[in-house]
């Protein structure tokens, strides 16, 4: 019973490099989300996907792109990494409908030098 | 921008004591949720309270919601060392699950 799986768990990049963070869920959820968590702050929504084939911007989308590959997988891409994108990235999923809890992966810790 | 502000930022108690954390938010909501985050791990959903509910219980957890004051509290009774974690409130303004998280309360429960 894996839930939400994120890969990789850790990554170090140089400024300007590109990177794709992978996320997969096995709970048959329609909705998936990408958040970032910075020290002293709560999570901030980057992008979300309400269903397969749809994506929409969250609070902090600049510098990121996403792909909802299928119902299970939702990837986050940094095209040209910047030090300000150093953060812990969390993927989450939930069932469709009101008042549904979100289920989180364990995060990807990304450092950009 | 952060919707929720939690108070206190950090809380240190002994096992067996109760822990109370507060969350204030700025705009009307559809529901408010509480999550726990253990060090180095993802968030785990604890409890969801709808805007038309005033109190909800789950095991040792009690959540209250006061929409007139735009505030919520999480009470953990009879705390255990395993409750040591950060606790976050998150608000869902329109029911579309675009959660806005608070800054969190770090709880330390000492044996």
CA distances from residue B90 to A85, A92, B22, B46 in whole angstroms, order as listed: 23, 14, 12, 11
Closest CA to A47 of A64, A25, A30: A64
Flag whether pLDDT at B1 surpasses 50.
Answer: no
Contacts of B93 in chain A (CB under 8 A): none
Mean pLDDT per 10-residue interval, chain A, length 113 residues = 92 97 96 93 92 92 95 97 97 89 96 97
Q: Are B104 and B7 a contacting pair, CB within 8 Å?
A: no
Q: Are B46 and B58 a contacting pair, CB within 8 Å?
A: yes
Query: Within the 46-105 window of chain A, which residues sit less than 8 Å (CB to CB) from chain B?
Result: 48, 50, 58-59, 90, 92, 94, 98-105
Please name the member of B4, B43, B103 whose beta carbon is closest to the beta carbon of A104.
B43
Contacts of A48 in chain B (CB under 8 A): 97-98
Read off the pLDDT of each residue in B20-46 and give the average, rounded to a whole number.
Answer: 94
Q: Which pLDDT tens digit goes with each residue over B66-109?
A: 999 999 999 999 999 999 999 999 998 776 678 999 999 999 99
Helix (H), strand (E), coil (C) string for B44-84:
EEEEEEECCCCEEEECCEEEEEECCCCEEEEEECCCCHHHC
Q: Which residues pair with B6 in a beta bridge?
A: B23
Flag whether pLDDT at B8 surpasses 80.
Answer: yes
- Do A42 and B48 count as a contact with CB atoms less than 8 A apart? no
C-alpha A78/C-alpha A83 separation (Å) is 12
Closest CA to A35 of B98, B46, B86: B98
The residue written with tokens 């979100």 in the block is A102
Q: Which pLDDT score is estimated for A79? A: 93
């Amino acid at each position: 019973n894996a839930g939400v799986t994120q890969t990789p768990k850790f990554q170090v990049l140089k400024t300007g490099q590109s990177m794709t963070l992978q996320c997969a869920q096995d709970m048959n959820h329609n909705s998936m989300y990408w958040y970032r968590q910075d020290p002293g702050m709560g999570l901030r929504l980057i992008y979300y996907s309400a269903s397969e084939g749809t994506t929409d911007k969250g609070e902090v989308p600049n510098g990121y792109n996403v792909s909802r590959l299928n119902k299970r997988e939702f990837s986050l891409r940094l095209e040209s990494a910047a030090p300000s994108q150093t953060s812990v990235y969390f993927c989450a999923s939930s069932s469709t409908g009101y008042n549904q809890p979100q289920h989180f992966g364990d995060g990807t810790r990304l450092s950009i030098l | 921008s952060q919707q929720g502000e939690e108070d206190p930022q950090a809380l240190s108690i002994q096992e067996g004591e109760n822990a109370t954390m507060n969350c204030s938010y700025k705009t009307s909501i559809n529901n408010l949720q509480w999550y726990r985050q253990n060090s180095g791990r993802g968030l785990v959903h604890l409890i969801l309270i709808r805007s038309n509910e005033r109190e909800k219980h789950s095991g040792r957890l009690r959540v209250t919601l006061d929409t007139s004051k735009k505030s919520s509290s999480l009470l953990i009774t009879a705390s255990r060392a395993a409750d040591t974690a950060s606790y976050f409130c998150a608000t869902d303004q329109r029911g579309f699950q675009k959660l806005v998280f608070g800054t969190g309360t770090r709880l330390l429960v000492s044996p």
